[in-house]
Amino acid sequence: MLSFLKRALRIACYTLVLFVVFIASIDRWVSWQAEDRILTSIDNIDNVQVAVVLGTSKYLGRTLNEYYSHRIEAAINLYNEGKVSHFLLSGDNAHRSYNEPWTMKRDLLRAEVPEPAIHLDYAGFRTLDSIVRAKKIFDTDDFLIITQKFHCERALFIARSYDINATCLAVSGPTSKSGFSVRLREVFARTKAFLDLYIMNTQPKFLGPKEPIMDTEEEGLVDEPIAPYEKGLQE
Q: Which domains does the chain have, with CATH numbers?
A: 2-216 (3.40.50.620)
Categorize the per-residue pLDDT at 5 as very low, low, confident or very high, splitting at 50, 70 and 90. confident
- B/e letters for 9-36, b = 16+ CB within 10 Å, e = fewer, are eeeeeeeeeeeeeeeeebbeebbeebee
Report how many helices (DSSP H) and strands (DSSP E) the chain contains, helices first.
7, 8
Q: Which ranges of 35-172 does DSSP label H, i.e. alpha helix? A: 66-80, 100-110, 127-136, 149-161
Q: Among the listed ranges 29-38, 56-65, 110-119, 216-225, which one has the minimum average pLDDT value?
A: 216-225
Name, in order, each residue with C-beta under 8 angstroms of 163's C-beta and a sequence gap of 6 or more: 141
pLDDT at 229: 40
Categorize the per-residue pLDDT at 235 as very low, low, confident or very high, splitting at 50, 70 and 90. very low
**Closest by Cα among 19, 97, 6 to 57:** 97
Taking 70 as the threshold, does the pLDDT of residue 234 lie above it?
Answer: no
pLDDT at 177: 59
pLDDT at 3: 78
**Residues 21-25, mean pLDDT to the nearest whole number:** 95
Q: How far apart are CA 161 and CA 147, in angstroms?
A: 19
